[in-house]
Amino acid sequence: MHSSVQKYKDIISAIDRKIEEQKIHLTPKVIAVSKTFPIENILPLIEHGHLHYGENKVQEALEKWTDIKNENHNIQLHLIGRLQTNKVKFALKIFDYIHSLDSEKLANKISDEQQKQKKKPKIFIQVNMGNEDQKSGIDKRNLSDFYRFCKNLNLDIIGTMCIPPNDGNTEKYFSEMSDMNKELNFKELSMGMSADYLEAIRYNATYVRVGSKIFGIRD
């Protein structure tokens, strides 16, 4: 068995144990974050049957995934990196999910492009939980208004995404994000990465983004 498949199975087992211990009523989907890894490293996991993958650059995703997705229409590709407005038309050609909607300008561009391509990606609003200057995302105080703005553009907003500050209070941010998600009646929550995905599950994450624990440390 390829090492990435074994690591993936270990992650699924850890999630199952956490769900049983905490009596959690949902099982999150694992997004295997394959950014920077060549397709040869990813193929064993595809052959194993895993369907959800994450990339953070549009051009890399197009080069890596176009042929694979044409062969396997069940694969779901998630854009987890920042999306520039000039890359939106290319992003919609390859990505099924966008996790990083963070501005009205980007929302308008996606709305225009999805009408042209007649393709409607599922979208998460990225929330800047710690109001960090170095991170993208909507100010949490503006989330409700921004969601209404997006609905008026006919965007398919399915939930929120956050990357909490690295200040030792991860669970506090997860809890707050979960509450905000519920207030807006979102069904999906993209939250948790390799270091904290098990904690995120406790706070109702429905998608966790795991890369290094599956594919190893990036160069």
Asked if residue 148 lies in contact with residue 106, where contact means CB atoms within 8 angstroms, the answer is no
Model pLDDT, residue 130: 72
SS3 30: strand
CATH classification of 38-188 is 3.40.50.850, yes or no? no
Amino acid found at 134: Q
- pTM across the whole model: 0.95
pLDDT in tens, the chain (219 residues): 889 999 999 999 999 999 999 999 889 999 999 999 999 999 999 999 999 999 999 999 999 999 999 999 999 999 999 999 999 999 999 999 999 999 999 999 999 999 999 999 999 999 998 776 767 899 999 999 999 999 999 999 999 999 888 888 899 999 999 999 999 999 999 999 999 999 999 999 999 999 999 998 876
Q: What is the pLDDT of residues 106-151, one digit of tens each?
A: 999 999 999 999 999 999 999 998 776 767 899 999 999 999 999 9
Phi, psi of 71 (to 5 degrees): -85, -30
Q: What is the largest CA-CA distance in the chain?
A: 49
Where does residue 13 fall: left (phi above 0), alpha (psi -120 to 50 degrees), or beta otherwise? Answer: alpha
Where exactly are the structural domains of the chain?
A: 38-188
Asked if residue 181 lies in contact with residue 174, where contact means CB atoms within 8 angstroms, the answer is no
* Burial classification of residue 155, based on how many CB atoms lie within 10 Å of its CB (0-12 exposed, 13-18 middle, 19 or more buried): buried
Report d(CA 103, CA 92) in Å as an integer: 17
Q: Which two tokens stand for residue 174?
A: 């997860």
Q: What is the pLDDT of residues 18-27, one digit of tens each?
A: 999 999 988 9
Cβ atoms < 10 Å from Cβ of 212? 13
**Burial readout 39-72 (b: 16 or more C-beta within 10 A, e: otherwise):** eebbebbbeeebebbbbbbbeebbebbeeebeee
